């Protein structure tokens, strides 16, 4: 009699401990050429995920996950980035492509990414190792996890600098710097600010420190508490700003028309790539952030319903930001294509001139900083979880290491707005390069691989069980989209950009 244990790899130690009961359940008899044997099938199988929990803890409820994932999704991407890239890419047609990408690529991949995390309950790197092992697939899938962790560092490095701008603008709003100012004054205030490496460095450091402090406190205490009250407040403020924008003369004529009447002659292949990249960026997809949050998701929560809610909220926030900003842009005679400074050159005009502007200005930038914080913590969490799981570090040590690396990388962005503004790689400043590399290449490639993995590598039995859709049809639709539609769409956009189409 022999005992065989399958798929027992050193890397799976953690999973083995948790799944030992399932191991016993799975023991069954089999015959092979040598006679009777007992085969202990160690499959990280259907039942096992039901009893598995992440060593980092679990969200206290579905609501907590929704808040955290929405916190990750809603951030600078919606309020700072979406308006300025829509402005640079001609508005309406760009917005339409972005919305299509959210629907056909973003939402299905968000479901897949959450599902992968919940099934493995580990950091993204080990998630890929475990699930590839389970599916009998190639080990190389773990590079997907690595790419995600690296993308997280790179994104956070510039994210933190821009969040630093928002922090600085909170203080400027508080001291009345916008009061009564016109577009030219607000612009020179902005130019003076980003022209100073010391100021940018100071605010970048402060923001990184805040991120590290929150992440060090862990999933339940740190992350969950931080996002609980931020999201609703931001939402209310945006509505208020839309209200203000409606009072400007250019609300419908130019503001709304710019965002919602598509002119396809203004859309380039590059613009389509940017719109798709932004769908990944804004939903925090393709790099393991949603995967790691999924790994803390309780078993009985419906992934599909939750994802619709998160993606819907994220999209509404971005559109509201656009609706608030563009009327002010046109009413103040500004160009929609001024770039990353767009909200910092427009909203202060509104705050400086509306009744109660001082109060709303301070509040708005405070909210923006908090929205950025609830995203930045998710950018660093995959790396921190990996360091804790694999390198035996405490959360605190892991935060210090990853925070220090990100801070250092962030200096490239700090200087790209001043001292190194002439340094160009592929015709881009270092900030533009980092943004392009991560949002337009790494995230879509990561998302493409996640779709292929969930659609083609994992068994249908496992995905059915894990997705736990309300009905068979919803599952079929999702599986079709994740196998065919999403990967093909990403692929076509890439082909288009390199000029093959
Ligand atoms: N979704 C965030 C935003 O829109 O600001 C940015 C982001 C967070 C991107 C987490 C990627 C990520 F993994």
CATH number of residue 127's parent domain: 1.20.1740
Return the ∠ at Cα 341 (arms to 379 and 167), rounded to 5°.
55
Q: Looking at residue 221, what is its pLDDT?
A: 67
Rounded to an integer, what distance in angstroms lies between the CA atom of residue 439 and that of residue 431? 12
Nearest residue (by CA) to ligand 1, atom 13, is 284
In ligand 1, which atom is closest to the CA atom of 76? Answer: 5
Residue 498's closest CA among 278, 273, 274? 273
What's the pTM value of the predicted model, to 2 decimals? 0.88
The pick from 81, 149, 155 for probing ligand 1's pocket by mutation, whose C-beta has the most ligand atoms within 8 angstroms, reads: 155
Flag whether pLDDT at 417 surpasses 90.
yes
For the segment 470-499, the average pLDDT, to the nearest whole number, is: 94
For the segment 368-379, the average pLDDT, to the nearest whole number, is: 91
Nearest residue (by CA) to ligand 1, atom 10, is 284
For the segment 364-388, the average pLDDT, to the nearest whole number, is: 90
Confidence of residue 219 (pLDDT cuts 50, 70, 90): low
Structure tokens at 332: 């103040």
Among the residue ranges 16-25, 244-253, 408-417, the one predicted with the least confidence is: 16-25
Q: 277 CA distance to ligand 1 centroid (A)?
A: 11
Flag whether pLDDT at 18 surpasses 90.
no
Name 272's Cβ contacts closer than 8 Å, sequence gap at least 6: 97, 493, 496, 497
Flag whether pLDDT at 466 surpasses 60.
yes
Domain count across the chain: 1
Q: 69 CA distance to ligand 1 centroid (A)?
A: 10
Q: Burial letters for 349-380: b for 16+ Cβ neighbours within 10 Å, e otherwise?
A: bbbbbbeebbebbbbbbbbbbbbbbbbbbbbb
Confidence of residue 263 (pLDDT cuts 50, 70, 90): very high
Q: Looking at residue 404, what is its pLDDT?
A: 97
User: In the predicted model, what is the mean pLDDT of the chain?
Assistant: 87
Distances (CA, A) of 150 to 27, 52, 326, 439: 40, 27, 34, 12
Q: 113 CA distance to ligand 1 centroid (A)?
A: 14
Q: Give the residues surrounding ligand 1 with Cβ less than 6 Å away.
A: 72-73, 75-78, 155, 281-282, 284, 287, 289, 375, 378-379
pLDDT, one tens digit per residue, over 66-83 is 888 998 999 999 999 999
Please classify residue 499 by burial: count the beta carbons closer than 10 Å to its beta carbon, then call 0-12 exposed, 13-18 middle and 19+ buried: exposed
Domain span at 281: 2-30+32-497
For the segment 436-449, the average pLDDT, to the nearest whole number, is: 96
Which of 265-271's residues contact partners 24+ apart within 8 Å by CB, and which partners? 266/89, 266/90, 266/91, 266/92, 266/93, 266/94, 267/89, 267/90, 267/93, 267/94, 267/97, 268/89, 269/496, 269/497, 269/499, 269/501, 270/497, 271/89, 271/90, 271/93, 271/94, 271/97
Name the 3-class secondary structure at 39. Answer: strand
């Amino acid at each position: 009699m022999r005992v065989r244990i399958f798929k027992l790899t050193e890397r799976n130690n953690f999973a083995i401990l948790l799944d030992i009961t399932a191991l016993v359940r799975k023991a069954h008899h089999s015959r092979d050429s040598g006679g009777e044997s007992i085969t202990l099938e160690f499959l990280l199988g259907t039942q096992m995920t039901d009893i598995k929990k992440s060593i980092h803890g679990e969200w206290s409820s579905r609501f907590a996950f929704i808040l955290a994932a929405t916190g990750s999704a809603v951030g600078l991407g919606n309020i700072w980035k979406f308006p300025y890239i829509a402005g640079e890419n001609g508005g309406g047609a760009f917005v339409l492509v972005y919305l299509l990408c959210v629907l056909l690529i973003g939402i299905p991949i968000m479901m897949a990414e959450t599902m992968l995390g919940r099934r493995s309950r580990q950091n993204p790197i080990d998630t890929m190792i475990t699930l590839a092992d389970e599916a009998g697939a190639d080990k190389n899938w773990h590079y997907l996890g690595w790419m995600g962790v690296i993308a997280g560092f790179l994104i956070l490095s510039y994210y933190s600098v821009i969040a630093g701008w928002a922090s600085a603008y909170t203080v400027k709003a508080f001291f009345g710097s916008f009061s009564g100012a016109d577009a030219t004054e607000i612009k020179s205030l902005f130019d003076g600010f980003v022209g100073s490496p010391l100021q940018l460095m100071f605010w970048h450091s402060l923001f990184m420190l805040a991120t590290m402090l929150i992440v060090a406190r862990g999933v339940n205490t740190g992350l969950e508490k931080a996002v609980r009250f931020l999201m609703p407040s931001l939402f209310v403020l945006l509505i208020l700003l839309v209200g203000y924008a409606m009072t400007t003369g250019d609300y419908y004529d130019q503001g709304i028309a710019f965002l919602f009447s598509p002119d396809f002659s203004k859309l380039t292949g590059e613009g389509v790539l940017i719109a798709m990249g932004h769908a990944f960026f804004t939903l925090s997809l393709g790099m393991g952030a949603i995967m790691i949050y999924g790994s803390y998701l309780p078993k009985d929560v419906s992934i599909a319903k939750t994802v619709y809610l998160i993606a819907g909220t994220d999209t509404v926030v971005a559109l509201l930001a656009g609706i608030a900003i563009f009327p002010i842009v046109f009413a103040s005679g500004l160009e929609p294509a001024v770039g990353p400074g767009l909200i910092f050159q427009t909203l202060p005009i509104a705050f400086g001139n509306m009744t109660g502007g001082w109060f709303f200005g301070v509040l708005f930038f405070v909210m923006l900083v908090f929205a950025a914080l609830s995203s930045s913590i998710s950018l660093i969490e995959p790396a921190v979880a990996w360091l804790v799981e694999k390198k035996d570090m405490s959360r605190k040590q892991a935060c210090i290491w990853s925070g220090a690396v990100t801070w250092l990388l962030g200096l490239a962005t700090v200087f790209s707005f001043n001292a190194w503004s002439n340094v160009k790689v592929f015709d881009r400043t270092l900030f533009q390069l980092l943004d392009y590399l991560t949002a337009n290449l790494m995230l879509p490639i990561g998302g493409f691989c996640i779709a292929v993995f969930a659609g083609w590598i994992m068994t249908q039995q496992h995905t059915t069980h894990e997705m736990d859709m309300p009905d068979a049809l919803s599952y079929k639709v999702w599986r079709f989209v994740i196998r065919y539609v999403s990967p093909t769409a990403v692929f076509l956009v890439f082909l288009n950009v390199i000029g093959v189409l």
